[in-house]
Chains A and B, each alone.
Chain A
Amino acid sequence: MSERVLMKGNEAIAEAAIQAGCRFFFGYPITPQNELPEYMSRRMPQVEGTFLQAESEVAAINMVYGAAGAGARVMTSSSSPGISLKQEGISYLAGAELPAVIVNIVRGGPGLGSIQPSQGAYFQAVKGGGHGDYRLLVLAPANLQEAVDLVTEAFDLADLYRNPVLILGDGLLGQMMEPVEFRKLPSRELPPKTWATTGMRHHPHKNIINSLVLDAPGLEKHILHLQEKYARMNLHEQRAKSLHCADAEVVIVAYGSTARIAKTAVMSLRQSGLKVGLFRPVTLWPFPVNTLSELVPKVKAFLTVEMNAGQMVEDVKLAVNGARPVHFYGRMGGMVPTPEEISSECVRVLGGVR
């Protein structure tokens, strides 16, 4: 499928996974990501893959553990409350170093919240969610073509680092439609899965997938090994996109669909001659500290815009490290900021820095 097709975000993510060689999908329905499992239920049989609607989110994530342990490319998807249910399994995947791709099409919370878009799961995505010292690689697409490309890459990154990768979208991204193309990305050299539980025909020893390490020195050694891996991820995988940041006095920091709304605000403020830029993290973990801190000496202030009560703003403050003021503007509960709201917030911040 190389020609352009018109797809919903949820469908595009599903097709991208299939094209990346994902042959197992385990899920449980929840709005606003239902088109993803529904698409998988149609497509998996066509590629001799397995679609299974589990009895619960907890069951689904543990099926992911099983398939990933056997070396298969596997995906699960859900939306906020469902991802909360999966946290135990995600921690197990991280502990057992299993590659898998998890999709969260975030809706309003806390609790059952609403079915409208939100970015209220940022903390959960980048600061753990489950228990223990672990990290997920978190990718945040802002349009559907980027979602397709990042999902394709997510499977490689998961295999490369033996680590679960989270695609963090929101209801808007999942439900909206855009033309997309499924293109071949440059393939990476990936390590063979010598650890997978594929039977003893291929190797003389037993492979065991486990996250239980009862002796304390042994577990500390394992955690230190994980930390070394996260340090490598932090070194190599930070990604961000900048727009009009070279001469900007105020830089808006926003990710995902909020960044697209912020872009409209930046373009209209630039037309009025205001020096405003946009910094968009594409990886939320590792947070793109390096490129963001390069901006600090050139910029007078930062404005973080999110669809939550202020979550990523903490990472922006850590990166800026007190050298410049970091402002915040957020909408919550399924309310989406307008370009005009962001513009007037920007003008207010600009007024303060002059």
Chain B
Amino acid sequence: MCCGERSLPGTMSEPVLNRVSVIVGGYGSGKTEVAINLSLYKRAKSDPDTSVELIDLDIVSPYFRSRDQLLQLKACGVAVVAPEGSLRSADLPALPAVVGGSILRRDNQVIIDVGGDPAGATALGRYSGDIKLEPVDVLMVINPYRPHTRTALDVLNLLNLIEQKSRLRTTAFVNNANLMGLTEIAHLERGQRLLGELYAQTGIPAGFISCMPSLVPRVNALWPQNAVLPLRLTMHPPWRDA
């Protein structure tokens, strides 16, 4: 697979193919949960000496960002690269210089959690030149239960805009169909159908399925050819009942 071109048809054998994983998608598609869990997955699969770095590029939404889990992730061996000090709780278009360094180092594993929609992907465009220097996974997270990604046409519109702004080609879609705690297999089935239509129209393959750990055995039985990323949810509301 070469950067800048569509990857080959088929599915990903595991959620990670390359050193750099870029997570894009619509607002509220589940990018941050996928990015955090992918970071933990990369941590588990990597050499203990290899640094695993989660870059929080979200400068468009002020709440529920990777940086909110900074200490918990650090304890798990994942470094969070994000604005520091009082800039941490701001929504200013400013990013620390270490982001570029983290991408250019070749001895680490990198996960980039991008802000939602084309607006969020604009920040990614600034790093596209550095990112394109080697093969990368650009994963677009899809939840057909979100208002602006319900149909293949919706997703194609969003895909085009995100690719324009980020100046990066999407290499796979992630089926993150969910209604949070109410999610059932039927919802993931709708996600699979949508990803099938998208593959037919774009040649971009279905990458992996992300879902609650309780659904994993049935997902494996139904779609054995798909890699699965079990999501241990980290973004909880303060009342913790969700």
Interface residues of A (CB under 8 A from B): 4-8, 11, 15, 31-32, 35, 39, 42, 114-116, 171-172, 175-179, 257, 260-261, 263-264, 334, 336-339
Contact = CB atoms under 8 A, between A and B. Distances in A.
Nearest to B60: A34
B104 interface: no
B62 interface: yes
B145 interface: yes
Contacts of B241: 260, 263-264
B70 interface: no
A115 B62 contact: yes
B180 A177 contact: yes
Given A4-B145, A32-B63, A116-B89, A264 B240 contact: yes
Interface string B93-123: 0000000000000000000000000000000
A334 B182 CA distance: 30
B237 to A, nearest CB: 6
Contacts of A171: 62-63
Contacts of B28: 6-8, 177
Contact of B238 (A6, A39, A178, A336): A336
B179 A172 contact: no
Nearest to B148: A42
B124 to A, nearest CB: 19
A115 B91 contact: yes
Nearest to B145: A6
A21 to B, nearest CB: 19
Interface of B: 27-28, 61-64, 89-91, 143, 145-148, 178-180, 182, 237-242
A10 to B, nearest CB: 10
Nearest to A261: B239
B128 to A, nearest CB: 24
A35 B27 contact: yes
Given A171-B63, A172-B237, A179-B182, 13 more contacts: A6-B28, A6-B146, A6-B178, A6-B179, A7-B146, A15-B147, A116-B63, A172-B238, A177-B28, A178-B180, A261-B238, A336-B238, A337-B238
A7 B91 CA distance: 21
**What is the interface of chain B mostly: helix, strand, loop, or mixed?**
loop
Contact of A5 (B145, B238, B240): B145
Contacts of B63: 32, 116, 171-172, 175-176
Contacts of A172: 63, 237-238
B239 A339 contact: yes
Which of B61, B89, B179, B237 has the largest number of chain A CB atoms within 10 A?
B237
A179 B181 CA distance: 9
A57 B238 CA distance: 31
5 contacts: A42-B148, A115-B89, A171-B63, A178-B180, A179-B180
A57 B220 CA distance: 52
Contacts of A35: 27, 61
Nearest to A12: B147
Contacts of B147: 5, 7, 11, 15, 39
Contacts of A179: 145, 179-180, 182
A138 B90 CA distance: 29
Contacts of A175: 61-64
B27 A8 contact: yes
A260 B239 contact: yes
A42 B149 CA distance: 13
Contacts of A5: 145-147
B89 A334 contact: yes
Contacts of A177: 28, 180
Contacts of A4: 145, 179, 182
Contacts of A115: 62, 89-91
